[in-house]
């Protein structure tokens, strides 16, 4: 059916969507279960599974909206009580930048930058015009460059 390379590719796709290893495994597993329970032959199973994973992830996000609002309030309160050492030693600059992206932007960056699909291929996958994705990538690159530069400036000021 699928080889290890394809499983790893699907796992990385799930990881790019949810930014959590356990959730990526769960997303892949549940999509595989649904795929295997259907007794149909599909010409491109990887593409089909990627679409299933994407749809399931966005469905879960819609259902968790209320919980996320409550969790964000709780996180803000917890961040107020961080120790000085935790503030000084931030986890990772890239993770900070990725947290700034919404789900659609993370998916676009993953498909374009990590999986190295052409913009036209991503446009075909998502059913969007190529020009729209080109402008999104351009704005996204500008925003990330600006945020990264300002992040480095604030870090150098604290040191």
Query: 83-159: which CATH architecture?
Result: Orthogonal Bundle (1.10)
Most confident of 60-69, 72-81, 149-158: 60-69
**DSSP string for residues in the chain:** ---HHHHHHHHHHHHHHHS-HHHHHHHHHHHHHHHHHS----S-HHHHHHHHHHHHHHHHHHHTHHHHHHHHHHHHHHHHT--HHHHHS-S-HHHHHHHTS-HHHHHHHIIIIIS---HHHHHHHHT--HHHHHHHHHHHHHHHHHHHHHHHHHHHHH-
1-34 pLDDT, tens digit each: 788 999 999 999 998 888 889 999 999 999 999 8
pLDDT in tens, 104-151: 888 888 888 888 889 999 999 989 999 999 999 899 888 888 887 776
pLDDT over 50 at 87, yes or no: no
Domain ranges of the chain: 1-81, 83-159
Q: What pTM value is reported for the model?
A: 0.54
């Amino acid at each position: 059916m699928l080889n290890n390379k394809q499983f790893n590719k699907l796992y990385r796709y799930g990881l790019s969507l949810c930014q959590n290893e356990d959730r990526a495994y769960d997303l892949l597993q549940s999509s595989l279960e649904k795929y295997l329970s259907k007794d149909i032959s599909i010409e491109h199973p990887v593409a089909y599974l990627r679409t299933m994973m994407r749809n399931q992830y966005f469905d879960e996000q819609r259902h968790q909206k209320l919980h996320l609002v409550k969790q964000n309030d709780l996180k803000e309160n917890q961040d107020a009580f961080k120790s000085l050492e935790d503030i000084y030693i931030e986890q990772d600059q890239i993770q900070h930048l990725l947290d700034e992206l919404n789900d659609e932007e993370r998916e676009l960056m993953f498909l374009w930058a990590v999986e190295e699909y052409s913009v036209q291929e991503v446009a075909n996958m998502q059913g969007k015009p190529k020009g729209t994705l080109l402008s999104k990538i351009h704005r996204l690159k500008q925003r990330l460059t600006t945020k990264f530069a300002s992040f480095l400036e604030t870090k150098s000021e604290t040191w």
